[in-house]
Amino acid sequence: MKRLLSEAQRLARTDLNLVVRGETGAGKEVLVRYLHAASGRAGGPWIAENCSAISESLAESILFGHVRGAFTGADRDRPGLFVLADGGTLFLDEIGDMPSAMQARLLRVLEERRVRPVGGERSIPFDVRVVCATNHDLAELVRAGRFRADLLFRLTGASFCVPALRDRPADVPFLAARFLDELNAQYGTTRRYSRDLLDRLQRHDWPGNVRELKNCVTALYSLSEQDEIDGPLPSVSEPRPFGAEAPLLTRVAPLAEIERAAIRLALEETGGDRREAARLLGISRSTLYARLGATASRNT
């Protein structure tokens, strides 16, 4: 991690567009956020968008904005991400999944440093550093005809690769401590890892990379009732057979205890993914966060 942070710091001194490559969940966005914070644009906006999550029909409006009446449902002017990120950093994740037609439009915008909203008559200048991330080999996509070579050259002022977490086990304690610090700050607790748990965290190969580690830490924190966190890693525990009887149903218990047990089970089943846990429980994420906060308060 120190090497990666040092490299990001050096790149932060420049204003070059940047392509970051690495496996899904390897921590590409974490590094790009650090680069933004270390750059001269730290006081400007940080805007992030996942290109694979944008439908082709809406991509131009999202990136470049639109004016009122540009299409059905456009009831007012809306700035695009390039305008919103003016003076800061625009992070385009999964750039390799951007549709080819959109690639051509993006190339023109990057060349001109001006953007014209959909349905608009005038172009708007912008000052944005564009940082892209991908888990693909973009050069290979170019050879396959799936990515424009000229856009790749325009985006790649500099580039670096974020290795998989299994290739940098020394980073695991650092990252695990950071994620736990964030949870302690959020819920006003002072929890810590047992030495045995830290050893298990570092020995695991983390196929889901940094994202899996973060989900695991969240689940361990939520499942723990002690200041010292210990126990098996939820992300690698044996899956519970669907429909298996849960211990909370084998005896009469206070509703608060049943609720805590249900939340623990949901987080265990989802590897700490709170969005999915809330869905399984049939509650909103905000309700789940409130319940977790109440549980943390009772345990401190």
191, 227 contact by CB (below 8 A): yes
Looking at domain 2-163, its CATH superfamily turns out to be P-loop containing nucleotide triphosphate hydrolases (3.40.50.300)
* pLDDT surpassing 80 at residue 205: yes
Measure the CA–CA gap between 89 and 44, rounded to whole angstroms: 7
* pLDDT surpassing 80 at residue 230: yes
State pTM to two decimals: 0.70
Q: Please state the rounded mean pLDDT for residues 131-159.
A: 94
**DSSP letter assigned to residue 165:** G
State whether residue 69 is helix, strand or coil.
coil
State whether residue 82 is helix, strand or coil.
helix
Q: Where do runs of H (alpha helix) occur along 2-128?
A: 2-12, 28-38, 56-64, 81-84, 100-112
Instruction: Give residue limits of the domains in the chain.
Output: 2-163, 168-298
Measure the CA–CA gap between 219 and 274, rounded to whole angstroms: 9
Amino acid occupying residue 184: N
Q: How confident is the model at residue 191 (pLDDT cuts 50, 70, 90)?
A: very high
pLDDT digits (tens, 9 = 90+) for 17-52: 999 999 988 889 888 999 999 999 999 999 999 988
Q: How confident is the model at residue 238 (pLDDT cuts 50, 70, 90)?
A: very low
**Residue 237 confidence (pLDDT):** 41
